[in-house]
Structure 1
Amino acid sequence: MKKLVTILVLFFNLAVFSQTQDQLFAEANTFYKEANYERALGVYLAIEEEGLVSSDLYFNLGNTYYKLNKVAPAIYYYEKALKLNPANEDARFNLAFAKRMTIDVIDELPKTVFQRFSANIIQKLSFDTWALIAVIASFLASFLFLMYHFSDATRKKLLYFNTTIIAVVVMLISVFFAFNNYKTVKKNRIAIIFAPKVEVKNAPTSSSDEVFELHEGTKVIILDELDNWKKIKIADGKVGWMNDEELKEI
């Protein structure tokens, strides 16, 4: 009886919490529509502090920071929205506009055929989505195989056999894409420069030589870390060290 009461109380609290978040989200959207961006930002951040993880929330935060001409936070939240949902085309479109506010112009290194395929196909969906497709394909393959096994008509058996093979192929491809996507996301630790200007060093010490400089809003990849220093790489392949207080990891 005590366990039942505990479960009921838990579900009640979750329902109230969800309702409160929905109300706050609607309130923040109203402030945004009224161009009261400071108040909208405060409410959106309050929702985030409650632990809500949502591509829509991050997208709205990016929009709000963009309206406030705060380039680094805008890019940061657009990137977070895309990390959760790579198919969020609105976030991708607005991110392109936000990047125009940055100072650094960095030419990307040429990509290999597989890198282009990964960016244009595999990374278009999250690894959770690819995993879901794999699970659905596996259930479909099992069902079609049973239909093949119990079917008496030759034409139907051929149809079920061929569709089973197709479902298995889709399952295997989806598993491969999910694994590749997961490995890419975990390997590439992306961060955004938040400091107005950063001197990137050739070693993790303040007295080391500057190799290049970056400005707020620029995206970097974290390669390594030592104490309060991060080893970073930018799109053109340049590598250096910077203080971890000057960037924010996505």
Structure 2
Amino acid sequence: MKKILFLLLIIANSVVAQNAENLFSTANDLYKNDKLEEAIDLYKKIEDQGMVSSELYYNLGNAYYKLNKVGPSIYYYEKALKINPLNEDVQNNLVFAKRLALDNIEELPKTVFQKFNENWLQKLSYNQWAIVVIVFSFLGSLLFLLFYFSNSPSKKRFYFATSLISFILLIFSFFITYNQYTFYKKNKEAIVFAETTEVRNAPTFNSDEVFTLHEGTKVIVLDTIDNWNKIKLADGKIGWIIASEIKLLNE
């Protein structure tokens, strides 16, 4: 009975994947023919099925960019980079999309570690770092077995040294994976979707306005109270914004 259920599950997943592939192809054709709204509807149907990818979000970002919708275009480019930070096409298009945003926010100076983390460690997502962990664990185990069964002293020294290096790299990559995962969960990034919105000093409508934000600006969500989110900007400014006017990237 379990085997039948497992087989049915495989067949169902295969059908869903094939359907998503067909929808993706159709959506791409619509996009090429400038039927952008229809293409977006099909891309989102694929997203609803859970068949997400960097390419899917990249195409969604492109479609919204052509429609001059700054917030959604930046949002989907950012989501594409969450899946594949090395996607150069997304990186380039995100630069162009950000030029359409009205807010020019200067980032606070970063420490050496923060720069190293952003410029190097975050080039891979935590899922990709997890793959690195698996590779080093497999490689270390294989080299240790070769060391154990080898009869030559020179080979034993070589396999022992390389297996030791692999296990050290395994520990470092595991540590990086854990840190990247923790960073991803703690830093709840969001994009402003409202054309213009006022940020206040408290989660009430009668509180004072501290600054104004526009569509496409990235913020960090620090806290949530009712339908308000406490946010922080790259320049360190903090305030409260209506939750419906931003969209979380980590959803």
Question: Smaller-chain TM-score range?
Answer: over 0.9
Q: Distance between the aligned counterparts of 1:9 and 1:180, measured in 2?
A: 38
Moved more, 178-187 or 132-141: 132-141
Measured in 2, the distance between the counterparts of 1:157 and 1:3 equals 45
2:246 alignment partner AA: L
What is the letter of the counterpart of residue 172 of structure 2?
I
Task: Report the residue type matching 1:6 in the other structure.
Answer: L
Aligned partners of 1:97, 1:194: CA distance in 2, in Å? 17
Partner of 1:55: 54
Deviation at 1:105, TM superposition (A): 0.3
The offset of 1:80, in angstroms, is 0.9
Corresponding position of 1:44: 43
- Partner of 2:196 in structure 1? 197
Q: For residue 72 of structure 1, what is the aligned residue in structure 2?
A: 71
- Displacement of 1:3 in angstroms is 4.1
- Name the CA shift for 1:14/1:142 in 2 (closer, same or farther; >3 Å): closer
Taking only aligned residues, the RMSD between alpha carbons, in angstroms, comes to: 1.3
Alignment map for 1:1-250 (pairs within 5 Å)? 2-250=1-249
Partner-residue secondary structure (3-state), 1:129: helix
Whole-Å separation in 1 of the counterparts to 2:82 and 2:243:
21
Deviations 1:89-142 (A, max 9, x none): 211111111000000000000110110111111111111211221122112112
Look up the SS of the partner of 1:17 in the other structure. Answer: helix
CA–CA distance in structure 2, aligned partners of residues 3 and 164 of structure 1: 40
Q: In 2, distance between residues paired with 1:7 and 1:135?
A: 26
Q: Aligned partners of 1:114 and 1:221: how far apart in 2?
A: 20
| Conserved 8 A contact 2:58-2:76 | yes
Structure 1 residue 9: deviation in Å? 3.2
For 2:148 and 2:2, locate their aligned partners in 1 and report how far apart those are by CA, in whole Å: 45
Residue segments in structure 1 that go unaligned for 5+ positions in a row? none
d(CA) in 1 for partners of 2:131, 2:57: 23
Return the TM-score normalized by structure 1: 0.95
Unaligned runs of 5+ in 2: none
Question: Aligned residues: percent identity?
Answer: 53
Letter in 2 for 1:212: F
How far apart in 1 are the matches of 2:186 and 2:83?
A: 16
Aligned residues: 249
TM-aligned CA deviation for residue 175 of structure 1: 0.4
**Are the structure 2 counterparts of residues 111 and 64 from structure 1 closer, same or farther at C-alpha, using a change threshold of 3 Å?**
same
Does the CA-based 8 Å contact 2:231-2:241 persist in structure 1? yes
Q: Deviations over 1:63-99 (max 9, x none)?
A: 1100111000000111111112212221111111100
